[in-house]
């Protein structure tokens, strides 16, 4: 999560609760540059919104100038959040259920009789025993499913025959690094991105006339290599 993007999005007004919820969900996944790539399903789970509501909110946010969507190799969408470009009403009407802008009201003389003001409680309501409806569970990592995706998507690379303890640990580490990674659609896109790289698939020229490099599963899930692949460094 980028505190820079999040702090820039929270004060924005003129949008509906649904649109604000989707924007904050994106900001929670964004880098300091405002880049993120959660799936529609992931956003829906995080915001408790339907797919239709999420798509409608994304479309409105893009028209309002606070979001730019881009197709990633025709398979998935990644977003760039641009709080500075937010201009509701320029290309799109203000959200119908957005709260009205706050107006300054002149101070009124104090009444003769004192009034008792009850301060709202900021203490969260305790959960009722046995009520799991408010508990948020994270998607469980399935290392075998990810290995199967690799073997199916990249048959030209060395196949994974054994799911060792070390591999399980590294897969789980990458899975837990971001909510975006906790979706098999992300891993399908990740391996598809590898397959489109001539360097990673051994289709390029080797150094000094040697054999070309071919990525292995273990190489791909190493922390630094994983980030470089996700950022498209090998698909230029």
186-212 per-position pLDDT tens digit: 899 899 989 989 999 988 787 777 889
Average pLDDT over residues 173-194: 90
Residues 6+ away with beta carbon under 8 Å from 55: 40
pLDDT score at 93: 53
**Above 80 in pLDDT, residue 20?**
yes
pLDDT score at 90: 54
CA atoms within 13 A on the CB side of 150: 22
What are the structural domain ranges in the chain? 3-85, 143-230
CA distances from 35 to 1, 3, 27, 29, 148 (A): 10, 13, 9, 8, 28
Beta-bridged to residue 79, according to DSSP, are 36, 69
pLDDT score at 30: 85
Residues 6+ away with beta carbon under 8 Å from 72: 37, 78, 189, 193
Higher local confidence (pLDDT), 147 or 132: 147
Task: Tokens for 50, please give them.
Answer: 């339907």
Q: Which CATH number fits domain 3-85: 3.30.2130.10, 1.10.10.10, 3.40.605.10, 3.40.50.720?
A: 1.10.10.10
């Amino acid at each position: 999560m980028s505190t820079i993007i999040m702090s820039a999005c929270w004060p924005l007004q003129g949008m509906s609760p649904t649109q604000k919820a989707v924007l904050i969900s994106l900001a929670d996944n964004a880098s300091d540059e405002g880049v993120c790539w959660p799936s529609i399903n992931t956003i829906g789970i995080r915001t408790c919104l339907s797919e239709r509501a999420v798509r409608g909110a994304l479309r409105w946010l893009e028209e309002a100038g606070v979001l730019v969507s881009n197709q990633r190799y025709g398979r998935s969408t990644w977003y760039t959040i641009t709080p500075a470009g937010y201009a509701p009403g320029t290309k799109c009407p203000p959200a119908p259920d957005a709260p009205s802008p706050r107006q300054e009201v002149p101070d009124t003389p104090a009444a003769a009789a004192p009034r008792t003001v009850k301060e709202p409680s900021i203490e969260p309501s305790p959960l009722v025993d046995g009520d799991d409806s408010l508990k948020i569970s994270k998607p469980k990592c399935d290392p075998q499913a990810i290995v199967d995706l690799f073997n199916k998507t990249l048959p030209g690379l060395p196949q994974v025959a054994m799911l060792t303890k070390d591999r399980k640990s590294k897969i789980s580490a990458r899975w837990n690094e971001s909510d975006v990674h906790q979706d098999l659609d992300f891993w399908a896109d990740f391996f598809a991105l590898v397959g489109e790289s001539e360097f990673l698939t051994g289709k390029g020229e080797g150094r000094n006339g040697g054999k070309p490099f071919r990525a292995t599963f273990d190489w791909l899930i190493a922390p630094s290599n994983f980030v470089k692949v996700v950022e498209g460094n090998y698909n230029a």
